[in-house]
Amino acid sequence: MKLSILALSLLPICFFACKKITTVRPPCDTETVAVPRDTSYLSTPLVIPTRIIEEKLNSSIGKYILNDVDFDNLNVEGKKDKLKLKVTRLGDIQVSWKDNVATCSAPLRVLMERQIVGNKVLPMAESISLKSEFSLRVVFETTINIGEDWRLQPNTKFRSLKWLSEAKSLGGLIDLRKAVERKLHLRMPQILANMDNMIRSKIRLDRVMTRVWQNIQKPVIINRNQELVWLKIQPIRFEMGTITTAVGNLRIQGRLTALTETLLGNDPAFTIDSMLPPLVKRSELPNEAYAHLLAEVPFTDLNEILNRRLAGKVFKVKGHRVKVGRAEISGCGTNLVLHLTVRGGVRGDIYFQGTPHYEPDSQRIVVHDFDFDVRTAEVLLASADWLLHGAFKDQMKAALSIPLEEKMARIPEALMAGIERGRVGEKLDFIVEEWDFQPQQIWVRPADIAALVIVKARVRVELEVL
């Protein structure tokens, strides 16, 4: 009787023991996967607010516009003009734009001294002169271009003047306006040359762009989860299209051509090319960004999702029950390997293999040619061929459907946040107006799945500091 009871108690053990399988992980190609790099373009208008230009002009151009302290300067007829003229700004320079032409106006205070009797007539005395003070507003037009050296090429012309007060002397008997206008016209080439020199020397776009060129090469963090992921931009050249006006502000169409790559680690190594290349001019440039970016999905993230779906779940297959203890996905050459630890109707390790592909309609990574690994299939065929039934395989394949939509949607936010956190963001404000993602190709790597994504966007860049 005791022997019968013992035999019956051992039957379940024998039953499950005969269903235990021993498999091995599929051999994998350890060669490093080289993800190709391609050229990216950021073609976007650079908006320079008029208020910034006005602030720079008013701080750069001094209070004194003209200070002629000599009575002996020659007039247009080659005679001594017998005039001293001091011109100072009464208020701020105001700027308005039409395409690349700036209209600048400023109120001026004029102190004029006309010599009546020179000291050569009365050698023992000082010269006798009449002094008068008045104000006027002058208007200039400056055509702005940018040279290959990134230096501004201003060309300023005098347009008009408007009298803001009377310009008379001797109690109003003598009208000085014509004399003042002649004096201003005589000095105008010098005034215009001084203005152009001031604009060229004080507004140094080349220095701003050199800093942008250098800072944009510094990697920016786009993912802080576990091992840091950085975006590295290797700029190739800057191009400039048309200079126009938008909502009263200067708008320069530009394009940056660059290579992009992602770097991993807490402090990735990188080098910076500090030399700003010559500006390339184009008659027209599109208003769009076209970037090749690498979206990386770490296996650690995938396995967390996979175990939420599979760990502890029981599946019924051909009258048998299979419970998944643990699930893990990893890379194996160009394939994905799904490793399941199971018990129940069969006990041991099961391996699947398949090739990942991106489905644009569902924005998911799915696995094609998904099947039991050859060695696992051989073992199951000998001991648990019922598990080879397609239902269990299809359920595992469905569990490997990986949504990318959320990760794709985070790319622009992470990218712009990274740039804004970096030093480039101190001078430039990036406004993303529209994004479109088009994943192109999938690569399996030892630590993750890499997806090449083409990003088409409309971006506007606004200069915050000049």
Q: How many helices (H) and strands (E) does the chain have?
A: 8, 22
Count other Cβ atoms within 10 Å, centred on residue 57: 22
Going along the chain from its start, the domains and CATH numbers come out as 50-203 (3.15.10)
Q: What is the mean pLDDT of residues 162-190?
A: 77
Identify residue 145 by its one-letter amino acid code. Answer: N
Query: Which DSSP state fits 333?
Result: T
Count other Cβ atoms within 10 Å, centred on residue 201: 11
Band of the pLDDT at 13, cuts 50, 70, 90? Answer: very low
Q: What is the mean pLDDT of residues 283-295?
A: 78
Lowest mean pLDDT: which of 74-88, 172-186, 242-256, 445-459? 74-88
Band of the pLDDT at 4, cuts 50, 70, 90? Answer: very low
Band of the pLDDT at 150, cuts 50, 70, 90? Answer: very high
Hey, is 25 helix, strand or coil?
coil
Kindly tell me if the per-residue pLDDT of 2 is higher than 60.
Answer: no
Band of the pLDDT at 354, cuts 50, 70, 90? Answer: very high
Lowest mean pLDDT: which of 113-127, 233-247, 302-316, 352-366? 113-127
Q: Say what the pLDDT of residue 9 is.
A: 47
Mean pLDDT score of the chain, rounded to an integer?
79
Cα–Cα distance for residue pair 159/411, rounded to 1 Å: 50
Structure tokens at 137: 């507003």
Strands 168-169 and 289-298: unpaired
Q: What is the mean pLDDT of residues 263-282?
A: 85
The pLDDT tens digits of the residues spanning 203-218 come to 888 988 888 888 888 8
Kindly tell me if the per-residue pLDDT of 32 is higher than 90.
Answer: no
Q: What percent of the chain has pLDDT over 70?
A: 77
- Element at 417 (helix H, strand E): helix 405-421
- Strands of 348-359's sheet, edge to edge? 314-317, 320-332, 335-344, 348-359, 364-372, 402-403
- Element at 200 (helix H, strand E): helix 177-202
Q: What is the mean pLDDT of residues 166-193?
A: 77
Virtual torsion, Cα 65, 68, 69, 75, nearest 10 deg: -170
Q: Say what the pLDDT of residue 5 is.
A: 46
Count other Cβ atoms within 10 Å, centred on residue 385: 11
The pLDDT tens digits of the residues spanning 313-333 come to 999 988 889 999 999 999 988
Kindly tell me if the per-residue pLDDT of 12 is higher than 70.
Answer: no
What is the DSSP track for 224-280?
-SSS-EEEEEEEEEEEEEEEEEETTEEEEEEEEEEEEEEEESSS--------PPPPE
Identify residue 106 by its one-letter amino acid code. Answer: A
Q: Evaluate whether 337 touches 329 at the Cβ level (below 8 Å).
A: yes
